[in-house]
Amino acid sequence: MRGYKMTKYFTLEYWKDNDWYVGRLKEVPGIFSQGKTEKELEKNIRDAYYLMIEDDKSIDTSSKTKQI
């Protein structure tokens, strides 16, 4: 299919630690990041994910989720 872009969604679990928002992607082990704001945390966690998949093209992200 030409022009088709598949989008993956992950669950960001995060918490406040002093002045920082700290978070992880629940479905992808090892992806953690932080930011001074929630928006900065979201950007940083995306960056961490993309850096990981650039470094390791063999990552298995084939897990499935559905709302019930």
Please give the residue range of the domain that contains residue 18.
9-38
Global pTM? 0.71
**Each residue's pLDDT expressed in tens, for the chain with a length of 68 residues:** 455 566 889 999 999 999 999 999 999 999 999 999 999 999 999 999 999 988 766 555 667 777 88
Q: What is the pLDDT of residue 57?
A: 64
Residue 41 is given by DSSP the state: H
In a domain, 13, yes or no: yes
Q: What is the pLDDT of residue 1?
A: 47
**SS3 call for 25:** strand
In a domain, 16, yes or no: yes
Q: What is the pLDDT of residue 35?
A: 98
Residue 22 is given by DSSP the state: E
In a domain, 34, yes or no: yes
Q: What is the pLDDT of residue 66?
A: 79
In a domain, 26, yes or no: yes
- Domain count for the chain, please give it: 1
**What's the longest Cα–Cα distance across the chain?**
47
Distance CA 29, CA 21 (A): 18
In a domain, 31, yes or no: yes
Nearest CA among 22, 8, 24, 13 for reference residue 63: 8
